[in-house]
Structure 1
Amino acid sequence: MAELVYLYGVIPAKELEKEAFPVVKGLDQQHKVYPLAVNNTLAVVCHLDDQDYSEESIKEKMNNDMEWLREKAFHHHEMLIALNERYNVIPMKFCTIFANEENLRETIEKNEEKLLRSFSLIDGSEEWNLKIYCDDTVLKSYISANNANIEAKKEEISQFPPGKQYFAKRKIEQMVDKELEKEKDKVCENAHAQLRQFSLHETIKKNWNKDVTGREDNMSWNSVYLVPVSHVTGFLQKINELKDTWANLGWKFEATGPWPAYHFAGLS
């Protein structure tokens, strides 16, 4: 029976000098996870049965067995978090699988220069995620009562006859909606501008809808930052300042991390 090789991530070989490699079970909860030496790097891998984890078998389970998918994806993520706590790790995507160790070695050797650049980039830094949520009802109420353009329009239509006022009020509602989106963009972009000063690199991601978040408020911003360890305290303090500043207007700022450097050191 042949065995496949599952790759979690890659770490510099010298990292094992800092801390011994942990003894843990792999994706199938049978084979152990171990470091495979490839030149100056260590590939963190485990073996898998080639029938249970063939490409066809994995596709079938991903499409029809959500419990299996959640369990295995969670294992992959938790393994990378554990590695990230100990070492400088370049994380791989879930279900990065090779036919054998030889194919894995060839791939890493071909990409060694890119790996070394990535190690240099993320060394001494942490990946942090910021999600900003907004209670549109609260913010819309504030805008409706405090926006100068809307106040002027309200004053103008108060002089209209009753029949004409109805349609004019509908236009005001549309104005409020537009001003709401402008205000949300302004607050989020301003927050991002302040936070990026603490980071080496940052990227803006797609917002999640309510079906994904399971929340009543809307996600208005989703960004990731690569922050030097020396700047993390200031970065988090700034987020707390933003929380305090905007809390009364329906805003919530939620930072999570440190994460493995998924967005800044990935190797496809």
Structure 2
Amino acid sequence: MPGSGTYLYAVSREEDRGSPVPPGGLAGVAGAPVRTVAHGGLVAYVSTVPLEEFGEEPLRRSLEDLEWVGETARAHHRVVEAVAAVATTAPVRLVTVYGGDDQVRDMLERRHDDFAAVLARVAGRREWGVKVYARPAAPAAEESVPAEAGGPGTAYLRRRKASLRGRDEAWRRAAERAEHIHETLTDIAAAGARHRPQDPHLSGRDDWMLLNGAYLVDDARREEFAAAVDGLREPDIEVELTGPWAPYSFTSLEFAGSEGRHAG
């Protein structure tokens, strides 16, 4: 497929253009240099990409290649984080591709109020991630449940039921503690969101992920937020703090199919 398209990473406010955005030499997906398209007080951060790789049909094939997806995601997020470090930023979904710069300007025109509202919401704030883990409850020891009449099979079933009850109770208590952590941090943050727990195959951990939270925190309260996280740690509960990040969890805008091909 001949020709080129315009890959969109993020949108910020034109008033932030006094900052060195994008940093000199910043490369995006496929090694393409990052540049800007401005319209109506908004600035889009984009790269020119070949449609032979980023056109609709090639993308369908590429998105089945996990190595390609991973490399593209890393490049995309690298650009977003570089922009967010110096400007109020609304990240755009991975692999959003337009037919050209004019289509990007048209999108900025039509979605101006949406982007303005999102950018006003996240100005002076960054996203912080908090993950909470606990070790799964150990199974009840066999001798803790005495064998009763009915033979060894019945005794085994009783022990098994007791073990499951103990595990369920441990999960319930741990989940309540995670809920307390989330509520405490949300009270400090401007906004909080709970994401689905990560698949153990992706996290590389076999313990329970009780919370996968994201919090939009005022820059002026970041130390207070970090101190609150420290205060919520317990001997058998691991609390992991990450960030600051671009506000991915709090800038979601839906794009119609005519507003660019996208994935994920």
Alpha-carbon displacement from aligned partner over 1:103-155 (angstroms, at most 9, x marks no partner) = 11111111111111111100011111111111114xx58xx79xxxxxxxx7x
**Mapped partners of 2:40, 2:48: distance in 1:** 20
Matching residue of 2:72 = 72
Contact kept, 8 Å, 1:198 with 1:232, in 2: the verdict is no
Quote the offset at 1:169 in angstroms.
3.5
Quote the offset at 1:67 in angstroms.
2.1
Matching residue of 2:61 = 60
Matching residue of 1:150 = none
**Mapped partners of 1:72, 1:170: distance in 2:** 47
1:32 aligned partner, one-letter code: P
Quote the offset at 1:71 in angstroms.
1.2
Q: Map residues 100-115 of structure 1 onto 2, 5 A cutoff.
A: 100-115=100-115
**Mapped partners of 1:53, 1:230: distance in 2:** 40
1:267 aligned partner, one-letter code: L
1:235 maps to 2:225 = yes
1:27 maps to 2:29 = yes
TM-score norm. by structure 2 comes to 0.86
SS of residue paired to 2:12? strand
Contact kept, 8 Å, 2:8 with 2:47, in 1: the verdict is yes
Contact kept, 8 Å, 2:129 with 2:215, in 1: the verdict is yes
Matching residue of 1:218 = 208
CA change 1:117–1:158 in 2 (3 A) is same
Contact kept, 8 Å, 1:88 with 1:123, in 2: the verdict is yes
Contact kept, 8 Å, 2:192 with 2:214, in 1: the verdict is yes
2:133 aligned partner, one-letter code: Y
Alpha-carbon displacement from aligned partner over 1:136-193 (angstroms, at most 9, x marks no partner) = 14xx58xx79xxxxxxxx7xx7696695765544332232022112111111011111
Matching residue of 2:260 = none
1:49 maps to 2:50 = yes
SS of residue paired to 1:136? coil
**Mapped partners of 2:38, 2:199: distance in 1:** 42
**Mapped partners of 1:171, 1:216: distance in 2:** 23
SS of residue paired to 2:244? strand
Q: Which has the higher helix share?
A: 1
Kindly, what percent of the aligned residue pairs are identical? 23
Contact kept, 8 Å, 1:89 with 1:260, in 2: the verdict is yes
Matching residue of 1:132 = 132
> In structure 1, which of residues 153, 160, 171 is the aligned counterpart of residue 161 of structure 2?
171
> In structure 1, which of residues 200, 203, 226 is the aligned counterpart of residue 190 of structure 2?
200
**Mapped partners of 1:253, 1:213: distance in 2:** 15
SS of residue paired to 1:86? coil
Quote the offset at 1:21 in angstroms.
3.3
TM-score norm. by structure 1 comes to 0.85
Matching residue of 1:149 = none
Contact kept, 8 Å, 1:4 with 1:47, in 2: the verdict is yes
Contact kept, 8 Å, 1:90 with 1:267, in 2: the verdict is no
**Mapped partners of 2:196, 2:21: distance in 1:** 38
Matching residue of 2:16 = 15
**Mapped partners of 1:21, 1:95: distance in 2:** 19
Larger deviation: 46-55 or 2-11? 46-55
CA change 1:81–1:166 in 2 (3 A) is same
1:186 maps to 2:176 = yes
Q: Which has the larger radius of gyration?
A: 1
**Mapped partners of 2:53, 2:150: distance in 1:** 72
Q: Give unpaired runs (5+ residues) of structure 2.
A: 255-264
Matching residue of 2:91 = 91
CA change 1:42–1:166 in 2 (3 A) is closer
Matching residue of 1:262 = 248
Contact kept, 8 Å, 2:10 with 2:91, in 1: the verdict is yes
Contact kept, 8 Å, 2:181 with 2:232, in 1: the verdict is yes
Aligned-residue RMSD, C-alpha = 2.2
SS of residue paired to 2:11? strand
